[in-house]
Amino acid sequence: MITQLLIILGAALILVGFWGVLTRKHIVKIIISFSILDTGIHLIMVGIGYIKDGSAPIIDQEMPVSRLAGNVVDPIPSALVLTAIVIGVAVTALMLSYAVQLYTFYKTVSIEQIKELKW
Amino acid sequence: MVSPLYILGIGLGIAFLLPLFEKLGKKIPRIITLITLMVFTLIAVSWVVMISGAVDKFPVIFNTIGFKAPFAISLQVGLIEALVLVMINTAALLSGLFLSLRKDSHWEGKQIVLFLTLVIGVNGLVLTRDLFNLFVFLEIVSISMYALIASNDEKHAYEAGFKYLIAGSIASAFYLIGVIYLYRFTGTLFIDQIVAMDLAALQATHPGLVFAIALIMLGLLIELKPFPSNGWAIDAYEASDPAVSAMISAVGASGVVFAFYKISSLFPPEMAEIVVASGAVTFVFSQLVGLRQKRVRRMLGYSSVGQIGIIVMIIGLQRILKIDDAQMIMSSAIILLGNHIFSKAGLFWLSDIFDQEQLRRVRRRPLMIVLFGVFLGSLAGLPPFPAFWAKWRMITVLAESDKLFLIIIILLGSLFEAGYLFRWFTTLLRDESDPGDIHEEQIPEDIPVSSSQTGVVSSTRALAALAENAGSVVEELPVLSVEDPTAAEKRNPVVLAVVAISSVIVIAAGVLLGAEFLRASNELLLLIPVAVLTAGILFDLLHLPHRIHLILAMAGISFYSYRILMGLDGIYLVFGILFLTGSLIQMISLYVKKSLHFGLIPMITALILSLGNLLISTTRLGFFFSWEMMTVLSSLLILRGRKASGAGLRYLLFSLGGAYSMLIGLMLYPDFSLLLQGVRDVSTPPVLAVFLISIGAMVKMGSLGLHIWLPGAYAEAENEISSLLSSVVSKAGLFLLFVTSSLYLIPLLPSGNIPVSVLLGWIGAFTALAGAFFALFQEDIKYTLAYSSMGQVGYMLLAFSLMTHLGWVTSLYMAVTHLLFKALLFLAVAGVLYRTKTRMMYQMGGLIKRMPISFITVLLSIIALSGVPPLTGFGGKWLLYTALIEKGWYLQAGVAMFASAIAFLYLFRLIHVIFLGQLKDEHRAMKEAPIGFLIPQVVGMIVIMLFSMYPSLLIGPLQRAVTPFFSESIIWEGYTVFSTLGYWNGNAVMYVTIGVFIFPLAWLLLMQRKHTRMVEQFNIVFAAERPDRPETTHFGYNFFAHYRRALGMYLTPWATRWWTGVVTLTDSLGGTMRRIYTGNGQTYAFQIILYGTVLLLLLRGGF
Amino acid sequence: MIKRIIIIITLIGLSFVLLPLFLNMEDAERLSELSQTYVTEGAEELGTANLVTAVVVSYRGLDTLGEVAVLFAATAGVTLLLGTKKKGGSVTDLLEERRGGSELLNTGAALLFPVLLLFGAYIFVHGHLTPGGGFQGGVVIASAFVLLLFIESDREFSHSVLHSLEALSGAAYVLIGLIGLWFAAGFLDPRFLPSGEIGRLLSAGAIPLIYSLIGIKVGSELIGVVDSLRRRS
């Protein structure tokens, strides 16, 4: 149930992200759309790692080692999503730097006016 | 064995520390990075050495953390990984060297850091066996590339980088979604574990599995720039610093290619087919679009994309083919990858050097030409470079699996690529005075009488237009008349050395591969031309004196000929003597040249040896290799001509087209090897194969319809080369026909009983006719001779296709005699041109007094050529008509006879206009041609006289050579030859002719003696000439205008128009195609998503 | 308009094709074999209480090293793009005149700064015990410096300190990896230090050390990124 919910939500965000990437003209909005897209993917990843009635895979008093199996969510997708988020941040930072440089050279933020290279 | 973790670990550690090292000194990071790259390379090399010692112990898996995969991420080193890493790391090292050594190098700070992370990322991509880890390394590579694109701080670089970022982010998104779902369905990320699973069964429980794999595939495929969603990548190639483009193309793309190969083991067959289609489409369309490209680096971008496309195609194929074939074809992919890495990087570097030095012309920079040629040749897949062998292997595998369509795609794309790459080459190489296209002298419809056109010959206007046209071919390299004087200061030999290393790698790899391929059939000897060429070029670079070099070369050829000819017999021996002895005699004329002519002797030598190799090759590969070598070398030799760039390019493309056509034929007909070995009862070939092989031969012979390369090539090449090409090299086509003669006996139509040879016969007859007609209307003496050669070879084709004993003897007889008199003519004319410095016949006249020996040569050869008694040509014509009539080909005989009559007209004009008439004022002090030209002429004349007097000397051996194929049809009685229709006695004909000639002459001299009166030249010759256009009143100008008027539309150059149409159509197709590259990053994003959607939909259709 | 319709059709097509991935994805009943092993044996093998950390830092340690490298490359890229000597003009003409921070912001930030630093350090030091770790801790630390920039937008951070921290922590991380290769079972193996008792701060071998180094590296890198973006504007 939760997996399905998260995946539907994630898929919706991915679509919104693609829509933004394909229709927004402002390059910063495009960058934001990519962030939305990324978030959607991360949601799906988290959703896929969910195990029915699972809690965080961390050992403490309530969750001794013996109880772990069957009661915690899958740690692998959590680990992957962590990496994916950091990579997303890195790409976003680079995109924003590009946006700054494009603005200084082209004096515009519209992607439609940044097309001197073609054919 | 060194753990690959050291590459990643130490590499990253050094990358992290680089900013600190910079504080120690500005140059320190550079040095440390270069050392690191060298260590990477050495580690990879050590793996290759170890693995080749013990192949069965590999691949080795290296685990991290101390847990086995799948519990921890693992790296794998096998032969293929090691090889790819050697190539990638070497290329990276060379890139690093280039970046540090080039003029005004700004390679410092973050650029070095990103360079290093890029290389580490690529190493990781190649090594890792974990799907998510692959993603992480992919991101390291991508991010480093995104940033490096901007490193030259140019407006366009930022634009391109941003587009690249958008595209890369979409690709990453696809990949990431795919990976997480694949984990969901399989419970692991370890590739080998997933491969080991029963994916088909898994698919039943998880319908999404195939789409998860498809998304992973798509993510990587997009990074590999499939057509048409690759505009962003091409922008990046164009806009970034060339050294960065080289890195992206050679290092970055290679890593992703390998990652794609790695995940390809997950592809179900349907997906593999889609990948094949995607790669093939990318290859052929990128090259098509590249045709229209004028900006050099963008052109290289299209080429890169295309090259990667073909590798993608192979990766798809190896999933479909049988396991053995898959391995074979994969090895060709690795070779192609290496070929691409080093030659593409080399070209990007060279383009940077051209920019740095503001070079518009490289004609006077021999080393640069060599490097440039090596890289272009290897990219275009010419022998002996690695790509040639790879494509051969690939095409062989495809032919065995009946994938003819893919073969055609590959060859078509290769032809396009050769087209634009060598157009770049010829543009850079051409002389200042070279308009860059074919510029046949045109005769105006009628001689203009109005005086308004003072000083403007209409053909010069045409020339100017052509020059303008050619100038626009490569915009970045506008036509400049002089080299920039400061260019010399900008030269940087050190950086050129780096580029040279890359080319040495390419050459060495090509030769080693060649040895590997040819060893199987014991044909290692075929590599001699390559060795000779390399050594010769080195000699030239070291300035070995021309004459010493020439003597060395001739001695070498003599030795080779001696060895080869000993082992030959039959028609092989005939052609052997034709090729080797014929060329050797003509080489004597090179002795006239005093100074060093870069590349001339090595290339001629290699060309002659390649011709010889045609005779001794015993397999399809060996034959095709020698054939291509011959093609490439002749076009390079043509390019040496001062105005030959257009002609050379045309020659190359036609010859390549012919060679590729032949290649497909060879692939359709594996028994070709048996034919070469002299076996005659072979299987019946498919008609298509016969056509394709014969097209290959006819292109080389310049048969009608395929001849349009011929006039320009023969005319614009240097005189010695023209002579060699027309008298010797064109016979290679004839040789191919003779070797494959049994093919042409099959019926033309499936149901009919007319053999293919009838068609060839007609083509030959009309080639003879057309050649004669074209020759008739030329002002340029070399064009006249060129068309004349075309016609003469047409006779040989006609005689050959009779497929009778007499026909074949005739064909060979004409081949030998044509060699003699055409070589004589070209050499004599070469002497004339050497002295007069013009090629226009109307600018000559009366040279008989100045150059008597040349006159006699020309006289003798045109008598021989025209087929009037008493010289050899008469014998040839007599044999031809006899053979034709014997066979019942009356119509063809009529055409041939008509053609001979026309030939007589242009020959008459030749001697009349040049040697008779009035001597021009400026030629008054002229001397006879140099001795080097005269020696071969005298030798040739003696031989002609000998054969004329004693035809049996020539016909006897030819007859014996042909006898194994047909029963005898001619009988000898002393020196008299009897056929079914009559007899010919060389002696008698000679005496009768001399008698017929001498008596009237004596009579005339006797009667006219009293009335002879000497006239001052100036009394008449300039009487009616207009000073502004003297040629229009020269009697030799437009000599046959009346015939031209009478013939009207029959002279329309239909073939030229047809081929121009083909070129224009292809060109505009490419022009239309490239409109999809709008330049808008958002459109590119849409194209990517659309591309992905379409691919996924196709896949869904497959399920 | 037509363009939009085509985009809509394409996106509908894409979602349609990928429906098998999005629908009927029920919650998994049990862990995959692989994660089952991690969960049951991870604590014992590595001594971490937070099993996600065990996966992140050890089992998939190469990913994390790569991730650090990604961030490092991105930082280098941002610096390269926005570095000082650039041909393009400035973007300042877009901006209005800068104001200093308000009283509320100044006081709040000054108050929060040490707390944030401490909190960030806490997060990465306890990464093997509680949710969080090097990346999260690094981000918190960087946010403390962003707060400082809110107060005073032209404040200069010492680049040599930032660079040294970044470089040395990264190199130390790699060195620990190599120590694992030499003295333990493999590259990045944290078990060359004793794993101790689960739940203690000093446990789980070298994992806390690695996470601390990552925390410092990420923190200094993100400060660098923010700083570069600020300088350009």
Which of the four pLDDT bands, split at 50, 70 and 90, describes residue B1030? Answer: low
- Beta-bridged to residue A26, according to DSSP, are A110
Q: Which of B445-449, B921-925, C19-23 has the lowest mean pLDDT?
A: B445-449
pLDDT at B609 over 90: yes
Report residue B483's pLDDT band, with 50, 70 and 90 as the boundaries.
very low
B971-973 and B976-978: which strand pairing?
A: antiparallel
Tell me the shortest Cα–Cα distance from A101 to chain B, in angstroms. 7
pLDDT band at B358 (very low <50, low <70, confident <90, very high): confident
Instruction: Give whole-number Cα distances, B949 to B138, B935, B969, in Å.
Output: 79, 21, 22
Residues of the domain holding B126: 1-247
Which residue in C20, C58, C72 is closest to B208 by CB distance? Answer: C20
Q: Which residues of A touch C74 (CB under 8 A)?
A: 89-91, 93-94
Q: Which domain holds residue C57?
A: 49-82+101-232
Q: From chain C, pick out residues whose CB is under 8 angstroms from the CB of B215.
A: 18
Higher model confidence: residue B410 or residue B1047?
A: B410
Given a contact cutoff of 8 angstroms between Cβ atoms, the answer to whether C171 and B23 are in contact is: no
Distance CA B883, CA B979 (A): 9
- B1034, pLDDT greater than 90: no
**pLDDT cut 70: percent of chain B above it:** 92
Domain count along chain C: 1
Contact C10 B19 (CB under 8 A): no
Q: φ, ψ for residue B594 (rounded to 5)?
A: -100, -50
| B1035: contact with A, CB 8 A cutoff | no
pLDDT band at B469 (very low <50, low <70, confident <90, very high): very low
A91 and B132 within 8 Å at the Cβ level: the answer is no
Find the closest chain A residue to C198 by CA distance. A59
Going by DSSP bridges, is the β-strand pair B74-77/B971-973 parallel, antiparallel, or unpaired?
unpaired
Least trusted range by pLDDT, from B215-219, B575-579, B684-688, B768-772 = B684-688
Whether the per-residue pLDDT at B217 is higher than 90: the answer is: yes
* The pLDDT of residue B133: 93
Asked, for residue C10, whether it belongs to a domain, the answer is: no
User: Does B85 share its domain with B36?
Assistant: yes
Res B1002 pLDDT > 90 = no
User: In this structure, are B854 and B913 located in the same domain?
Assistant: yes
Place of tokens 């030269």: B491
The residues in C 144-183 lying below 8 A from A, measured between CB atoms, are none
Contacts B177 to C, Cβ<8 Å: 21
Verify that B231 and B334 share a domain, yes or no.
no
More confident residue, B422 or B452: B422
pLDDT band at C87 (very low <50, low <70, confident <90, very high): low
Average pLDDT over residues B865-887: 85
Is the Cβ–Cβ distance between B176 and A83 less than 8 Å?
no
Answer yes or no: is pLDDT of B445 > 50.
no
Residues of chain C with pLDDT > 70, as a percent, come to 92
pLDDT band for position C154 (cuts 50, 70, 90): confident
**Contact criterion met (CB < 8 Å) for A86 and C70:** yes
Q: Of A50, A91, A103, which has the smallest distance from its Cβ to C91's Cβ?
A: A103
Has residue B168 got a pLDDT over 90? yes
Give strand pairing partners of B978: B971, B983
Residues in chain A within 8 Å Cβ distance of B179: 80
pLDDT, residue B282, reads 93
Q: What average pLDDT does the segment B369-390 reach?
A: 91
A107 touches chain B (CB under 8 A): no
Inter-chain residue contact A78 with C55, CB threshold 8 Å: yes
Out of A40-44, B11-15, B428-432, B852-856, pick the least confident.
B428-432
Averaged pLDDT, A40-60 = 88
Identify the top-confidence range among B740-749, B1016-1025, C20-29, C116-125: C116-125
| Residue C22 located in a structural domain | no
A2·C27 Cβ contact <8 A: yes
Contact flag C89-A104 (C-beta cutoff 8 Å): yes
* Least CB–CB distance from C81: residue in A60, A89, A101: A101
Chain-chain contact of C81 with A100 (C-beta, under 8 angstroms): yes
B1025 in a domain, yes or no?
Answer: no
Question: What letter does residue B363 receive in the DSSP assignment?
Answer: T
| Interface contacts (A, C; CB < 8 Å) | 167
CA distance C75 to chain A (A): 8
Contacts B139 to C, Cβ<8 Å? 66, 70
Of B162, B235, B1089, the CB nearest to A98: B162
Backbone CA torsion sign across B444, B446, B447, B453: negative
Note the helical H segments in C59-206.
61-82, 103-125, 134-151, 159-183
Q: Which residues pair with residue A55 across a beta bridge?
A: A72
Residue C176 lies in a domain: yes
Nearest to A94 among B136, B143, B173 (CB): B143
Domain borders along chain A are 2-52+70-113
Query: Which residues of C fall within a CB distance of 8 Å from B1085?
Result: none
DSSP B721-779: HHHHIIIIITHHHHHHHHHTGGGGGSBSSSS---BHHHHHHHHHHHHHHHHHHHHHT-S
User: Are A57 and C43 in contact (CB < 8 Å)?
Assistant: no
Option in A75, A94, A97 nearest C35 (CB): A75
Who's near B788: CB < 8 A, 6+ residues apart? B771, B772, B775, B822, B825, B865, B903, B906, B907
Q: What is residue A35's predicted lDDT score, i.e. its pLDDT?
A: 95
pLDDT (average), residues B341-360 = 87
Q: Assess whether pLDDT exceeds 60 at residue B466.
A: no
Which positions 186-215 of B are in contact with C (Cβ < 8 Å)? 187-188, 207-208, 211-212, 215
Q: Is residue B137 part of a domain?
A: yes
Average pLDDT rounded to a whole number, residues B854-863: 88
Does any domain span residue B21? yes
The pTM of this model reads 0.90
Q: Dihedral sign, CA of C18, C20, C26, C32?
A: negative
**Same domain? B592 vs B707:** yes
Average pLDDT for B23-52: 91
Q: What is the pLDDT of residue B846?
A: 80
**Mean pLDDT to the nearest integer, B584-605:** 85
- Using CB atoms, which chains have 3+ pairs under 8 A with A? B, C
How far away is chain A from the Cα of B396, in angstroms, using its nearest Cα?
35
Instruction: Examine residue C149 and state whether it is found in any structural domain, yes or no.
Output: yes
Within B974-1057, strands assigned E span: 976-978, 983-985
Q: Mean per-residue pLDDT for B591-609?
A: 87
Last-in-domain residue among B432, B448, B472: B432
What confidence category does residue B117 fall into, taking pLDDT thresholds of 50, 70 and 90?
very high
Lowest mean pLDDT among B90-104, B340-354, B588-602: B588-602
> How confident is the model over B914-932, as pLDDT tens digits?
888 777 777 778 888 888 8
- For residue C79, what is the nearest residue in chain B, using CA coordinates? B110
- Specify if C43 maps to a domain: no
- State which of B432, B447, B462 marks the end of a domain: B432
Q: Residue C81: which of B150, B211, B1090 has the nearest Cβ?
A: B150
pLDDT band at B470 (very low <50, low <70, confident <90, very high): very low
Residue found under tokens 């197709």: B1069
Note whether B232 and B284 are same-domain residues.
no
pLDDT of residue B1027: 52
pLDDT of residue B827: 85
Domain count, chain B: 3
- Contact of C5 with chain A, judged by CB distance below 8 Å, is answered with no
Grade residue B457 by pLDDT with cuts at 50, 70 and 90.
very low
Residue B271 and residue B200 share a domain? no
Residue C20 lies in a domain: no
**Beta-carbon contacts below 8 Å between A and B:** 114
Of C33, C61, C74, the CB nearest to B187: C33
Coil, helix or strand for B444? coil
Asked if A30's CB is within 8 angstroms of B1082's CB, the reply is yes
Residues B334 and B238 in one domain: no
pLDDT digits (tens, 9 = 90+) for B64-79: 887 887 888 888 998 8
Q: Which residue has the higher pLDDT, B595 or C13?
A: C13
CATH assignment of A2-52+70-113? 1.10.287.3510
